[in-house]
Amino acid sequence: MTVLPETYKGDYAVIEVDTKYSPKIRMQSLTTGNVGMMKVLKGTFASDPIESGQLIHLDKWRPKPAYGRPGVMENWIDEYHVI
């Protein structure tokens, strides 16, 4: 895989979107090549839907305790925009 320079930090390629419950976005960093999963609030997702194959830029995200799983943290996207 070819990774891009630091100029693209915060940009991700969307691999998969699961909209059951709170939307879960599986994505790959354009600068590091790392793959991960993050969640988005339904209201945020509804105002700017994401589809597989799109590029997004994360403006703001935060770790949050997982519901019903003590000691487990999940990453949540607060703000993003489709590139």
Taking the CA of residue 3 as centre, how many other CA atoms within 13 Å lie in the half-sphere pointing to its CB? 12
- CA atoms of 27 and 17, how far apart (whole Å): 9
Domain borders along the chain are 6-82
Predicted pLDDT of residue 37 = 96
Predicted pLDDT of residue 68 = 87
Q: Among the CATH numbers 2.40.30, 2.40.50, 2.160.20, 4.10.240, which is that of 6-82? A: 2.40.50
pTM for this prediction = 0.83
Does residue 68 come out as left (phi exceeding 0), alpha (psi in the -120 to 50 range) or beta? left
Please count the other Cβ atoms lying within 10 Å of the Cβ belonging to residue 74: 16
Tell whether the model's pLDDT for residue 6 goes beyond 70. Answer: no
Predicted pLDDT of residue 5 = 59
**19-69 pLDDT tens trace:** 998 999 999 999 889 999 999 999 999 999 999 999 999 999 999 999 889
